[in-house]
Amino acid sequence: MNDFGSRQIIAVKEGNVTGYFSQDKVILTGEYPYVETTFTNNIELIVQPKGRKRPSIVKVPFSGYYFQVFLGDFNGDGRDEILVRGSFLDVRGYAVGVMYAYSNGFLEKIFDHEIFTSSYLFKARYLDNYKIEVISLPLKEKYIIDISGRSKEYLDLLFDPTGKVKNNVAPAISPVIDVDPVKSIYDDTYSIIIKQNVLGLDNDDVYAIIESFISLNENKTELISMGILTFGKKEEKITDCGY
């Protein structure tokens, strides 16, 4: 990290933000209010075009840890948009993700993780016989997760002896845990994969990961598809796999 007046530089990239082949300098700066921690606040994003052109500056409305910058064409205009990523926690946890596009001298926010979670809602509930139902409201798609492989002691916390759901329990959908850019194999554009956890008794009790595939074409956030990754029961290590 380098000094930038009373601030510090977090990251520097070069890309074609203001025009085709413009090779602008993209600088992320912030303040570190605490000793021996990477927590950063008062974060600003600066785009400095080549020459003596006036820079474009925007305040990033989030604080957290491990901030970084990714450049790529997310909206299909042939120029780079700016994805700023970080974490709200000092360990792996809830993610910060906010994207800006350059327009007429200004940096316009076209996406952030809060826009996603408020617009693309999920519902989850336990079903009888050790199942979980997850529904994507915008896609009107339903997924069923089987947790019958959990221990009897665990299942007894959620279900009665006949396998019926206890009235006072419900699974939860976590905030965003990852914001990952994904390049198209057909052209030079990028999309985003958003990850969230399906949670049980606490934040460490993860049943599955929801992956949502997001397009930002023409600066419009659109959920294209989603899927759920579940976890098989881990068995003891084997010495001969039979292959």
Pair 130, 226 in one domain: yes
For the chain, the domain total comes to 2
Banded pLDDT at 4 (limits 50, 70, 90): very low
> Which of 86, 116, 146 is a domain's end point?
116
Look over the chain and give the mean of its residue pLDDT values, rounded to a whole number: 91
Pair 12, 96 in one domain: yes
Banded pLDDT at 233 (limits 50, 70, 90): low
Banded pLDDT at 5 (limits 50, 70, 90): very low
Mean pLDDT value of segment 50-79: 94
Compute how many other C-beta atoms are within 10 angstroms of the C-beta atom of residue 112.
21
> Which of 99, 116, 133 is a domain's end point?
116
Mean pLDDT value of segment 7-19: 94
Pair 36, 99 in one domain: yes
> Which of 63, 88, 116 is a domain's end point?
116
For the segment 146-159, what is each residue's pLDDT rounded down to a tens digit? 999 999 999 999 99
Q: What percent of the chain has pLDDT over 70?
A: 93
On whether the CB atoms of residues 149 and 225 are closer than 8 A, the answer is no
Residue 112 pLDDT > 80:
yes
Mean pLDDT value of segment 85-113: 92
What residue numbers bound the domain in which 164 lies? 121-230
Write out the DSSP string of 72-86.
Answer: EB-SSSSS-EEEEEE
Pair 88, 126 in one domain: no
Residue 241 pLDDT > 70:
no
Distance CA 100, CA 108 (A): 5
Q: What percent of the chain has pLDDT over 90?
A: 81
On whether the CB atoms of residues 51 and 19 are closer than 8 A, the answer is no
Residue 74 pLDDT > 90:
yes
